[in-house]
Amino acid sequence: MREGGSPTVISKQALQRLPYYTRFLRGLREQGATIVAAPAVAAALGLNEVQVRKDLAAMSNGYGKPKAGFILDELIENMEEALGYHNSDDAVLVGAGSLGRALLGYGGFAECGLNMVAAFDANPALVGSSISGKPVFPMSKLGDICGRMNIHIGVITVPACAAQPVCDELVAAGVLAIWNFAPTHLSVPANILVQSENMAASLALLSNHLRQRLHEDMP
Amino acid sequence: MREGGSPTVISKQALQRLPYYTRFLRGLREQGATIVAAPAVAAALGLNEVQVRKDLAAMSNGYGKPKAGFILDELIENMEEALGYHNSDDAVLVGAGSLGRALLGYGGFAECGLNMVAAFDANPALVGSSISGKPVFPMSKLGDICGRMNIHIGVITVPACAAQPVCDELVAAGVLAIWNFAPTHLSVPANILVQSENMAASLALLSNHLRQRLHEDMP
DNA sequence: AAGTTATCGATATTATAATATCGATAAGAG
DNA sequence: CTCTTATCGATATTATAATATCGATAACTT
């Protein structure tokens, strides 16, 4: 933020820390705090003090004050703005399987600025029903509905083998950002963003850690 | 891998690429291929050629052959080993809400070496039932069951406000690695790994990208 | 058999992010 | 009012990962 209102380029990594800061700072505010220092945040979230200070400074309108810290309200406001929590984006979900249904039913996305308006599925048995209040349409309607509703975000929760064709359809329908839960790589044009939710990759880290821990005990 | 059988330290990032390689290479093998070159993989997955070559080299027993590539079977075997797909780890899940149920019902974890054996929930109405064949126990049984079954992985799918206490209980019960789906930071002892599934962080990237795309069209 | 070429391994370079250091400054104590 | 101290901003350093470059080598072509 800072003065003029906009740039202060924020790094990808920092952007991903913002939700944690936001959550923690809101908690502080509820307890009546109005100012917060970087070291306190760092300790609470298990981060490096300098890193936190830089992140907070980037989200502060003016400057932090020595011996005191940063203004809470400013930080929270600017973080929410940077995270897009203020202007909510409409999205569609493709693949109303168990994971898709869970995501449709999760209320937490609303406060993150994501509003799922509809689902699509290839299974005729699901079409016409509604899940957590969201209507399920046939795949054939995807282009039409996305176009008319001006949808820019697509969520993919279909099996891996179906993911690429679905992705292509979403792109053709005008979607600019894709949240992919299928365990596969998706090829898209250069200006489209794919954010893959890497469950298998996460598991890889867990399993690897576990093996190392169990081995060091008895080598 | 390479000769002796073990080390070749693999970086965190590379480890997270392995599932994508594995999936793609299996596909090639099904089509009858026996050898694969780094540039082909790089093109298919949208990665840098040198990066892929280094990753594959680390997963190859001997060396790749110029003009040809790497032996498929070796790569797949070593990757599955590095990913822990061969020896499956038992895990418990805490929080049988909609996301928890979706994860319990997802069959794909088995082939990633994760075996969810039971769920725990604070809601008495759920206790005693079973979800996708997995029994739901009361929280009070957590320590006992984890200890007796020698569980080392815990999956947290409770609301954010309940996550830290649940995490503490899991650690006390001997869990060494935690897969956290609650949108909050978890504090743990140094030797415990927390892998947080960052939905809010992913959304932050999506929203950010979207804003930039929409702004550059009409600045 | 000789020449061409795609790929390899190794090393060097660059990019990105995390962390350490240090003088400056404002809050609070005495 | 002066002293102490926690925190700040800025700069420098280090860590990690991605990418570029180049000679060497094995497959294929002619």
Least confident piece of the model among A54-68, A136-150, B3-17: B3-17
What 3-state DSSP class applies to B27?
A: helix
Tell me what pLDDT residue A215 has: 79
B50 touches strand C (CB under 7 A): yes
Write out the DSSP string of A69-83: BEEHHHHHHHHHHHT
Q: In this model, does residue B2 exceed pLDDT 80? A: no
Q: % helix / strand / coil in chain A, to the nearest 5?
A: 50, 20, 35
Tell me what pLDDT residue A8 has: 59
Nearest-by-Cβ selection for B177 from A106, A195, A209: A209
How do A35-36 and A70-71 pair as beta strands? antiparallel
What 3-state DSSP class applies to B8?
A: coil
> What mean pLDDT, rounded, does chain A reach?
93
Q: In this model, does residue B105 exceed pLDDT 50? A: yes
Distance B50 CA to D30 C1' (A): 32
DSSP secondary-structure letter at A35? E
In this structure, what token pair is assigned to residue B85? 């797909």
Tell me what pLDDT residue A64 has: 95
Side chain identity at A19, as an amino acid letter? Answer: P
Q: How does A18-34 read in b/e, with b if 16+ C-beta sit within 10 Å?
A: bbbbbbbbeebeeeeee
**What whole-number percentage of chain B has pLDDT above 70?**
95
Between chain A and chain B, how many beta carbons pairs sit less than 8 Å apart? 184
Best residue in A88, A191, A207, A211 for a mutation probing chain B (most B CBs within 10 Å): A207
B178 touches strand C (CB under 7 A): no
Write out the DSSP string of A109-120: GGGGTEEEEEEE
Best residue in B185, B188, B218 for a mutation probing chain A (most A CBs within 10 Å): B185
Residues 19-38 of A with CB under 8 A from B: 19-20, 23-24
Q: In this model, does residue A188 exceed pLDDT 50? A: yes
A215–B contact, CB cutoff 8 A:
no
Q: Tell me: the pLDDT tens digits for B25-60? A: 999 999 999 999 999 999 999 999 999 999 999 999
Q: In this model, does residue A7 exceed pLDDT 60? A: no
User: Quick check: B23 and A183 CB within 8 A?
Assistant: yes
In this structure, what token pair is assigned to residue A140? 């054939």
Residues 108-147 of A with CB under 8 A from B: 108-109, 112-114
Distance from chain centroid for Cα B20? 12
Q: Tell me: the pLDDT tens digits for B159-181? A: 999 999 999 999 999 999 999 99
Long-range contacts (CB closer than 8 Å, 24 or more residues apart) made by B52-56: B52/B21, B54/B14, B55/B14, B55/B17, B55/B18, B55/B21, B56/B21
Q: In this model, does residue A2 exceed pLDDT 90? A: no
Distance A196 CA to C18 C1' (A): 24
Best residue in B210, B212, B215, B218 for a mutation probing chain A (most A CBs within 10 Å): B210
Radius of gyration of chain B from Cα atoms? 21
Burial status of residue A118 (CB atoms within 10 A of its CB: 0-12, 13-18, 19 or more): buried
B13: nearest nucleotide, CA–C1' criterion: D17
User: Quick check: A19 and B210 CB within 8 A?
Assistant: no
Chain C bases closer than 7 A to any CB of the protein: 5-11, 16-21, 24-28
Distance B131 CA to C15 C1' (A): 47
C-alpha dihedral (A154, A199, B41, B63), degrees to nearest 10: 170
> What mean pLDDT, rounded, does chain B reach?
93
Q: What is the pTM of this model?
A: 0.93
Q: Tell me: the pLDDT tens digits for A104-138? A: 999 889 989 999 999 999 999 999 999 999 999 99
Chain D bases closer than 7 A to any CB of the protein: 5-11, 16-21, 24-28
A50 touches strand C (CB under 7 A): yes
Collect all residues of chain B within an 8 Å Cβ-Cβ radius of residue A46: 185, 187
Q: In this model, does residue A3 exceed pLDDT 50? A: no
Contact between residue A58 and residue A1 where contact means Cβ atoms under 8 Å apart: yes
Burial status of residue B107 (CB atoms within 10 A of its CB: 0-12, 13-18, 19 or more): exposed
Distance A32 CA to D24 C1' (A): 68
Query: How far is A188 from A193, CA to CA, in rounded Å?
Result: 8
Distance from CA of B56 to the nearest CA of A (A): 17
Residue located via tokens 């947290």: B156
Closest CA to B191 of A59, A165, A214, A123: A214
Collect all residues of chain B within an 8 Å Cβ-Cβ radius of residue A114: 203, 206-207
User: Quick check: A98 and B84 CB within 8 A?
Assistant: no
Q: In this model, does residue B5 exceed pLDDT 50? A: no
Collect all residues of chain B within an 8 Å Cβ-Cβ radius of residue A15: 201, 204-205, 208
Backbone φ/ψ region at B48: left (φ over 0), alpha (ψ -120 to 50), beta: beta
More confident residue, A215 or B90: B90
Contact between residue A83 and residue A18 where contact means Cβ atoms under 8 Å apart: yes
Residues 6+ apart with CB under 8 A from A135: A118, A119, A129
Please report which helix (H) or strand (E) contains residue A121, including its range: strand A114-121
Q: In this model, does residue A182 exceed pLDDT 90? A: yes
